[in-house]
């Protein structure tokens, strides 16, 4: 201790030398340190985002534009999103919005770069936005940055079940699918109350640019729990019921290609047909021979069989030498009644789906893996293998499993895939020369599932549920 300096005075002096950002990793650092008093000339109490923009100023996250406005309707660039996110991250971690990014500052460079490097060093984002800083930010890009800016203890999910149920039922957030860039980050914003969408249906508009006003709403909800939003969505039975689903809804829409030359192009045209709830595909090649027509027919049938829930396993082909070929799909023994069988299979599958939800055997809190296991069990408990089935038996399609309780492998797989797809689980069928089974994506991981062999004993054999590709290969190569 310095001679002659009272202990209390010295302690106070030392305390004053500790920087304000000494508080580490706490939402308590989010404090309204300033008072908004009309600093932005384009912001009035009647403005749509008044409370949010005023809060953004009060939390020290924005001082507006050089002309004294906030720019409510101006588009936000990716770089500006990165700056805001960097400030929020730094404020949470240090108590100072600029301390974290400041450590990455360099002379004569765009301001956004220091915030970008800071967020990258913190593991918030990678390099995927490096070349986009000056471009208008899409709402999906905003979600990608913001969803990872704060840890869960600072931004906890509070609407998980509601959002999961709304999204899975396709009643709300319908413009976001698993094919939407950063869709998981978008859903995180809904679950944490940072977003409730842009309309009554909760639409996120992922590809649209975002205004500074709308961004202010999201940013301030991150730091201020009192501003977080709760979706006003009415979810009753309709939220989980599969009523109204059609076979075509279960197939991702393909693009019609008149003369498909590769397996991928044939799959596109087949999916276009299936998603349109049609069973006839007309193609046009420059010319056709018996050999080339057969090749097209066999390739199209192979593609259709990967969507075995559709109940098609045969094809009739007519063609002419000038290159026109018509492929009409059906099922053995179904003939002109194929549409009746398909409708009956769908109706029965919907009844099973809804009954499992109504009974509580499937709930919104369950993972894809858990739901797929429930359906695996149901299939095994409600079907027996049809050892008498010939090539023309209806046991080769899902209809027989649901209506008769009998099936062979393609009937098992078709029925199981139908149930999974009603649940929104992406799956397909994989086959070799003598067998067919399911490949499903459960919670982001691909698994092989063989309901036929799973039903080979008195109780379901879960050795055939959720196999890795290597495990599946040991049972049936392809």
* 375-413 pLDDT tens trace: 999 999 999 999 999 999 999 999 999 999 999 999 999
Q: Return the pLDDT at 367.
A: 92
- Phi first, then psi, for residue 248 (nearest 5°) are -65, -25
Q: Give yes or no for residue 22 having a pLDDT over 50.
A: no
Beta strands in 238-303 (DSSP E): 280-284
> What is the reported pLDDT for 167?
87
Task: Read off the pLDDT of each residue in 92-120 and give the average, rounded to a whole number.
Answer: 95
What tens digit of pLDDT does each residue of 420-447 get? 999 999 999 999 999 999 999 999 999 9
Q: Would the pLDDT of 457 be above 70?
A: yes
CA distances from 452 to 42, 78, 385, 396 (A): 66, 51, 8, 12
**Residue 235 pLDDT:** 72
Q: Does residue 9 register a pLDDT over 80?
A: no
- CA separation (Å) from 307 to 86, 151, 233, 274, 383? 46, 41, 34, 9, 20
- DSSP for residue 211: B
How far apart (Å, rounded) are the C-alpha atoms in residues 66 and 474?
67
CB atoms within 10 A of CB 151: 13
* Contact yes or no for 443/386 (Cβ under 8 A): no
Ramachandran region, residue 319 (left: φ > 0; alpha: ψ -120 to 50; beta: rest) = beta
Report the 10 Å Cβ neighbour count for 266: 22
Average pLDDT value for residue range 157-171: 85
Please report the pLDDT score of residue 237 as a whole number. Answer: 61
* C-alpha span between 97 and 84 (Å, rounded): 9
pTM, entire model: 0.56
Give the pLDDT confidence score for residue 240 in this predicted structure: 80
pLDDT of res. 6: 43
Task: Grade residue 15 by pLDDT with cuts at 50, 70 and 90.
Answer: very low
Q: Where are the alpha helices (DSSP H) in 206-289?
A: 212-223, 263-275
Burial label, 410 (beta-carbon count in 10 A; 0-12, 13-18, 19+) = buried
Nearest to 28 by CA among 119, 99, 93, 83: 93
Structural element, H or E, at residue 87: helix 78-94
pLDDT class of 45 with cuts at 50, 70, 90: very high
Phi and psi based region of residue 44 (left: phi greater than 0; alpha: psi -120 to 50; beta: remaining): beta
Alpha-helix runs per DSSP H in 280-367 = 290-305, 338-358
Q: Are 102 and 84 in contact (CB under 8 A)?
A: no
Given a cut of 80, is residue 471 above it in pLDDT?
Answer: yes
Provide the total of helices (H) and of strands (E) in the chain, helices listed first.
Answer: 17, 8
47 phi and psi, to 5 degrees? -65, 145
């Amino acid at each position: 201790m310095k001679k002659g300096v009272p202990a209390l005075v010295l302690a106070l002096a030392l305390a004053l030398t500790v920087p304000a950002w000494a508080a580490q990793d706490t939402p308590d650092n989010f404090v309204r340190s300033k008072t908004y008093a009309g600093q932005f000339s384009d912001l009035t109490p009647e403005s749509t985002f008044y409370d949010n923009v005023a809060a953004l100023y009060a939390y020290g996250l924005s001082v507006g534009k050089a002309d004294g406005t906030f720019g409510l309707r101006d588009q936000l660039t990716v770089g500006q999103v990165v700056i805001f996110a960097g400030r929020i991250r730094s404020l949470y971690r240090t108590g100072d919005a600029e301390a974290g990014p400041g450590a990455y500052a360099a002379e004569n460079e765009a301001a956004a770069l220091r915030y970008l490097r800071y967020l990258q060093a913190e593991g918030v984002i990678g390099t995927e936005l490096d070349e986009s800083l000056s471009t208008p930010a899409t709402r999906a890009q905003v979600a990608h940055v913001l969803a990872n800016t704060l840890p869960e203890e600072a931004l906890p999910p509070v609407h998980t079940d509601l959002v999961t149920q709304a999204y899975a039922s396709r009643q709300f957030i319908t413009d976001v699918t698993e094919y939407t860039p950063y869709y998981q980050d978008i859903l995180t914003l809904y679950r944490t109350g940072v977003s409730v969408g842009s309309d009554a249906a909760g639409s996120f508009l992922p590809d649209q640019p975002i205004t500074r006003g709308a961004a202010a709403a999201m940013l301030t909800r991150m730091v201020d729990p009192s501003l977080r939003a709760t979706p006003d969505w009415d979810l009753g039975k309709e939220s989980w019921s599969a009523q109204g689903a059609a076979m075509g809804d279960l197939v991702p829409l393909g693009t019609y290609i008149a003369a498909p030359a590769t397996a991928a192009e044939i799959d596109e045209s087949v999916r276009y047909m299936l998603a349109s709830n049609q069973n006839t595909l007309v193609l046009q090649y420059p010319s056709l021979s018996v050999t080339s027509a057969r090749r097209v027919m066999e390739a199209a049938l192979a593609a259709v069989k990967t969507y075995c829930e559709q109940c098609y396993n045969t094809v009739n082909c007519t063609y002419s030498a000038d290159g026109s070929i018509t492929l009409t799909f059906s099922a053995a023994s179904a003939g002109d009644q194929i549409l009746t069988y398909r409708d009956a299979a769908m109706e029965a599958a919907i009844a099973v789906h809804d009954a499992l939800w109504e009974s509580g055997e499937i709930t919104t809190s369950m993972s894809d893996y858990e739901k797929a296991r429930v359906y695996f069990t149901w299939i095994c408990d409600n079907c027996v293998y049809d050892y008498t089935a010939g090539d023309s038996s209806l046991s080769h399609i899902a209809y027989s499993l649901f209506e008769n309780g009998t099936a062979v492998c393609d009937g098992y797989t078709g029925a199981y895939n139908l149930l999974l797809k009603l649940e929104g689980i992406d799956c397909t069928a994989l086959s070799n020369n003598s067998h067919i089974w399911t490949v499903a994506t459960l919670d982001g991981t691909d698994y092989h599932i063989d309901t036929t062999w799973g039903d080979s004993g008195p109780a379901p054999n879960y050795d055939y549920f959720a196999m890795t590709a290597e495990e599946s290969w040991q049972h049936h190569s392809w």
